[in-house]
Structure formats: C-alpha cells, structure tokens
C-alpha cells in the first residue's frame, strides 16, 4: 500500500511516518526491544573466523589494559618480589595478564584492598569470558554449513522459444555432498497495479536435485 501525506491522520495510515528528501514515506518502528547480548552472540556465531578471533583478542586486550590502569593508579598497592624498585606500568600490565589468564606466577602480588578487589573481579571476568568464548567456539565448529557458489555471469537465451536465464551453481565443499537440494528463485519486478516492486517467483526447469556433489 502506498500512503500519501493526505492519508496521515485520517485513519488510513495509523502508524508514525516521516518523509525522506524525495518525499517517500518511511515507516518508523517504535517499541522494538534490542537484545544486546543476544545480538552480539549471533554476530560472533555468523561472522567470519577472522572477525571472530579479532573480537576475542580485542576484548581480551581492552580488559587487560583497563585493569592494568587500575593497578597503576594504586601503584603502592602491589609489590614486585623480584626487584626493589616501585612497580611501574609494565608491572601492572604483568599483574593484569597473570590475573586474566589465571596463571599467577607470584612475582607481583597485590597489597591494598583496591588491588585485591580488582584482581578478584578480573578473575571472575576471565572465567566468564573463557566459558563464553569456549561455548561460541564449540558452536562454530560443531555447526555444519554449506558453501554454495554462483557464477558471476548469467546467460539469457531462448529455450523452447521462451526467454530463459541460466546460471551455474557449484558446491565448494571438496569432500562433502548435499542431498535433496531445493532451489527457489524470485525476481524483483515492478507491479503497475500496486505501484511498488514485488518479489515474483520464477519457474525453474529443475528445482530439486537428489545429490549435489563437489
């Protein structure tokens, strides 16, 4: 349905609307709840391995630097057992790495209440991050996914006197085969009656394949 400015407020368009620079109506969605944790988990499950590892390493480094700055702000609250000099940034960074990785070599120990509390908080964050990262990694490895590639060029020709679009589809998994493959194709066309573009299903010469080998 295509709304105009006259329809707003008359009951025909009973939703909040706004107009872009070209005068077209844009629907404003209100009341939709955003789940930050669920959306982030879904992104980490569906993104590439490079982005997944970069996100994990980035979060790990940010937390290490954050707690290192906390330890550095309370430099007198930690003691280095292998030197007599006051603790510097690298000592605070080492304490943060040891606490985050739950190694605890014992060369740098907390002394004040602030550093003890920060170490405890960092430890539990490390445990939760390890559990979450392990669960995401297991889900990514255990979830089977197909790799189907389409040809860059589609051929338009006449088959039985009818204009037909042909394309090639291949299975990129070298050691696996897909069974009972079903394909559906739709074309985005403009409907003169509705005054908008719609997805029209296309009739395929062969829409199913019992075995799709690599």
Greatest Cα pair distance, the chain, in angstroms, is 91
Same domain, 84 and 117: yes
- pTM, to two decimals: 0.59
Given a cut of 50, whether residue 90 has pLDDT beyond it is yes
Strand partners, 196: 191
Same domain, 51 and 126: yes
| Token digits of residue 194 | 């509705």
Domain that holds residue 46: 36-142
Same domain, 166 and 118: no
* Residue showing tokens 């040891």: 98
38-58: pLDDT as tens digits: 788 888 888 888 999 999 999
99-154: pLDDT as tens digits: 888 777 777 888 888 888 988 999 899 999 989 999 999 988 887 777 888 888 88
Could you tell me which residue, 65 or 42, shows the higher pLDDT?
65
Same domain, 40 and 56: yes
């Amino acid at each position: 349905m295509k709304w105009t400015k006259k329809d707003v407020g008359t009951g025909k368009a009973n939703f909040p609307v706004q107009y872009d620079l070209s005068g077209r109506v844009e629907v404003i969605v209100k009341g939709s709840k955003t789940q930050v944790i669920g959306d982030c988990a879904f992104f980490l499950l569906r993104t590439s391995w490079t982005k997944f590892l970069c996100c994990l390493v980035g979060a790990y480094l940010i937390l290490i630097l954050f707690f290192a700055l906390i330890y550095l702000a309370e430099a007198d609250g930690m003691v280095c057992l292998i030197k007599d000099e006051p603790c510097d940034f690298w000592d605070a960074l080492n304490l943060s790495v040891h606490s985050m990785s739950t190694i605890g070599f014992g060369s740098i120990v907390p002394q004040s209440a602030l550093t003890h509390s920060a170490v405890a908080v960092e430890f539990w964050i490390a445990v939760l991050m390890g559990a979450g990262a392990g669960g995401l990694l297991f889900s990514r490895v255990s979830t089977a996914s197909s790799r189907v590639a389409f040809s860059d060029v589609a051929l338009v020709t006449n088959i039985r006197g009818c204009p037909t679009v042909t394309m090639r589809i291949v299975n990129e998994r070298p050691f696996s085969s897909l069974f009972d493959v079903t394909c559906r194709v739709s074309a985005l066309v403009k409907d003169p009656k509705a005054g908008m573009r719609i997805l029209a299903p296309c009739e395929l010469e062969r829409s199913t394949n019992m075995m799709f080998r690599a």
